Amino acid sequence: MGKKLLNDYTIPQLTGLMAQLGQPAFRAKQIFRWLHQKRVSSFSQMTDQPKTLLARLEEEFEIVQLQTARRQQSKDGTVKFLFTLPDGNCIETVVMRYTYGNTVCVSTQVGCRMGCRFCASTQAGLVRSLTAGEIAAELYAAEADIGQRISHIVLMGIGEPLDNFDNVMDFLTIISCPEGANIGMRNISLSTCGLVPMIDKLAERKLQLTLSISLHAPNDAMRSRMMPVNNAYPVAQLIAACRRYQNTTGRRISFEYSMVKGVNDSEATARELARLIRGMGAHVNLIPINPVDGSPYSATDAANVRRFQQLLTQLGVNATVRRRLGSDISAACGQLRREARREAET
């Protein structure tokens, strides 16, 4: 069995580890700072730690390092990375520049088993879930590359975050910790395709992050065609879970709605969507999709997206159109990883 990653440990977990090793508790915070604030790549850089402890840690643990396999930069400043993990698997990470700060979109799994029809990330299934430290390392590697602080995180890259629940929860603990990157929960959005039992489990944590639901359709016939997860958790169950989530956490839900030409962009669909979520105070993000090779779907044109948004607004639903970033690079989720895999196979 390979070594464990020390980056995966939260401060309470490190405190437990120090106790096991007969070390004082304060070393947990010190080591956490070396890993998540100073972001060292080797144990020997932890200069205030006893050599005997470092030798012991090195026997059992390693510090994760991501290698940049590819990097693409868009004219609008969006940077997309293909990072290689120590086991050779690849993941994608994207940095987007907004007026309020830099946002990183992180992957939470290598591949995905959710099977959404418009998504390149799922085409080869799930390989494995990322650990907490590996997800944090995406942010650290992206920050080091752009030379600027990243203030916001969206868990919207490759993978379904709630299908990797425990590691994602540890990642959130690590990344929001004042002894580390110190990114406030209100600057973090977690996106799910709609795993109802896990939405309820997340609600119990009462985190102040923004929960984003990839809805994409207001009825079961349409949604099941686009997203097989809907067969397990139909629209009515999903919306009921969203209402429970809002009641428990006091946080408003955000709905992601990818506009697909001729599939979910009619006036009748906008009316149905408004009926479904009106009164929840939720926000709808309309997303002009980035086309994916091999997918039957194409993007709704800009004028129709605008009409859809205006109709929702008239019907009392708060809706905005997401700015399309990185459309001149392979910015649709999973595309860069798929291109690299194809090249490796030929």
Residues that bind ligand SF4 (CB under 6 A): 112, 114-116, 119, 121-122, 158-160, 193, 333
Q: In whole angstroms, what is the distance from residue 65 CA to residue 83 CA?
A: 10
Question: Would you list the DSSP string of 80-107?
Answer: EEEEEPTTS-EEEEEEEEETTEEEEE--
CB-based contacts of 200: which residues, under 8 Å, 6+ apart? Answer: 241, 244, 245
Point out the catalytic residue in the list 90, 105, 119, 333.
Answer: 333
Shortest distance, position 125 Cβ to ligand SF4, whole Å? 10
Shortest distance, position 273 Cβ to ligand SF4, whole Å? 19
Compare residues 214 and 269 and give the one whose CB is closer to ligand SF4.
Answer: 214
Strands (E), 58-171: 61-62, 67-73, 79-84, 90-98, 101-105, 109-111, 126-129, 150-155
Q: In whole angstroms, what is the distance from residue 122 CA to residue 193 CA?
A: 12
Shortest distance, position 111 Cβ to ligand SF4, whole Å? 8
Compare residues 17 and 332 and give the one whose CB is closer to ligand SF4.
Answer: 332
Cα angle: 224, vertex 167, 285; to 5 degrees: 45
Shortest distance, position 112 Cβ to ligand SF4, whole Å? 3
Q: Can 339 be counted among the known catalytic residues?
A: no
CB-based contacts of 126: which residues, under 8 Å, 6+ apart? Answer: 109, 110, 111, 112, 113, 159, 163
CB-based contacts of 266: which residues, under 8 Å, 6+ apart? Answer: none
What residue has token string 């080869």?
Answer: 124
CB-CB contact of 158 with 121 (8 Å)? yes
Compare residues 183 and 333 and give the one whose CB is closer to ligand SF4.
Answer: 333
Compare residues 113 and 307 and give the one whose CB is closer to ligand SF4.
Answer: 113
Point out the catalytic residue in the list 90, 92, 105, 242.
Answer: 92
Compare residues 66 and 156 and give the one whose CB is closer to ligand SF4.
Answer: 156
Shortest distance, position 167 Cβ to ligand SF4, whole Å? 16
Compare residues 63 and 332 and give the one whose CB is closer to ligand SF4.
Answer: 332
Q: Can 112 be counted among the known catalytic residues?
A: no
Shortest distance, position 193 Cβ to ligand SF4, whole Å? 4
**How many Cβ atoms from other residues are within 10 Å of residue 225's Cβ?**
13
Token readout for 29 is 């915070």
Q: Determine the angle formed by the axes of helices 26-36 and 11-20, rounding to 10 degrees.
A: 130
Q: Of 121, 112, 120, 140, which Cα lies nearest the Cα of 229?
A: 112
Q: Which residues are catalytic?
A: 92, 333
